[in-house]
Amino acid sequence: MIPSSLRRRAAGGLAVALAVAMVAGCGSSSDSASSTTPPTTAPPTTSAPTTSAATGASDMTSASSASEMTSASEATSAAPDDLSGTLTVYAAASLKKTFDQLRTDFMAAHPDVEFAEITYDGSSTLATQLINGAQADVFASADLNNMKKVTDESLIVGDPVNFATNTLQIAVAPGNPKGITDLASLAAADLKVVLCAPEVPCGNAAQKALDAAGVSVTAVSEEQNVTAVLTKVETGDADAGLVYKTDVAGSDGGVDGVDFPEAADAVNEYPIGVLTAAEDAGNTAAASAFVSMVTGAEGQQVLADAGFGAP
CATH number at residue 212: 3.40.190.120
Residues 6+ apart with CB under 8 A from 238: 192, 193, 194, 220, 221, 229, 232
Helix axes 297-305, 96-109, angle to 10 degrees: 150
Q: Are residues 229 and 275 in the same domain?
A: no
Q: CA-CA distance, 268 to 80, in Å (whole number)?
A: 39
Question: DSSP state, 183?
Answer: G
3-state secondary structure 212-244: HHCCCCCCCEEECCHHHHHHHHHCCCCCEEEEE
List the chain pLDDT tens, one digit each, 311 residues. Answer: 333 343 333 334 433 333 333 333 333 333 333 333 334 434 444 333 333 333 343 443 333 333 433 333 333 333 456 899 999 999 999 999 999 999 999 999 999 999 999 999 999 999 999 999 999 999 999 999 999 999 999 999 999 999 999 999 999 999 999 999 999 999 999 999 999 999 999 999 999 999 999 999 999 999 999 999 999 999 999 999 999 999 999 999 999 999 999 999 999 999 999 999 999 998 999 999 999 999 999 999 999 999 999 99
Residue 213 counted as domain residue: yes
Distance CA 223, CA 171 (A): 15
Query: What CATH number is given to the structural domain containing 154?
Result: 3.40.190.10
Task: Map residue 121 onto helix, strand or coil.
Answer: strand
Number of domains in the chain: 2
What DSSP line would sit under 24-60, residue for residue?
HHHHHHHHHHHHHS-GGGS-HHHHHHHHHHHHHHHHH
* Residue type present at position 219: A
C-beta neighbour count of 20 within 10 angstroms: 10
Shared domain for 160 and 291, answered yes or no, is yes
261 and 188 inside one domain: yes
Does 176 map to a domain? Answer: yes
DSSP 76-116: HHSPPP---EEE-EEEEGGGHHHHHHHHHHHHHH-TTEEEP
Q: Answer whether residue 225 is part of any domain.
A: yes
Q: Is residue 129 part of a domain?
A: yes
State whether 281 and 242 are in the same domain: no
Residues 279 and 227 in one domain: no
Does 277 share its domain with 259? no
**Does one domain contain both 120 and 244?**
no
- Reference 204, options 195, 213, 191; nearest CA is 195
Q: In whole angstroms, what is the distance from residue 197 CA to residue 195 CA?
A: 6
User: Is 216 found in the same domain as 94?
Assistant: no
Cα–Cα distance, 84 to 40 (Å, whole number): 70
Give the span between the Cα atoms of 25 and 127, in whole angstroms. Answer: 112
Amino acid at 111: P
Same domain for 104 and 124?
Answer: yes
49 falls within a domain: no
pLDDT at 79: 42
pLDDT of residue 290: 98
Q: Measure the CA–CA gap between 195 and 240, rounded to whole angstroms.
A: 9
Give a yes or no: residue 261 inside a domain: yes
The answer to whether the predicted template modeling score (pTM) of the entire model surpasses 0.75 is no
What is the per-residue pLDDT for 203? 97
Domain membership of residue 7 (yes or no) is no
Q: What is the pLDDT of residue 54?
A: 38
Q: Is residue 2 situated within a structural domain?
A: no
The beta strands (E) that lie in 186-267 are given as: 193-196, 221-223, 240-244, 256-258
Residue 201 lies in domain: 168-265
| 258 and 275 belong to one structural domain | no
Q: Are residues 253 and 278 in the same domain?
A: no
Instruction: Please tell me whether residues 150 and 274 are part of one structural domain.
Output: yes
| DSSP state, residue 259 | -
d(CA 203, CA 197): 5
Length of the chain: 311
Give the Cα separation of 2 and 6 in Å (integer): 7
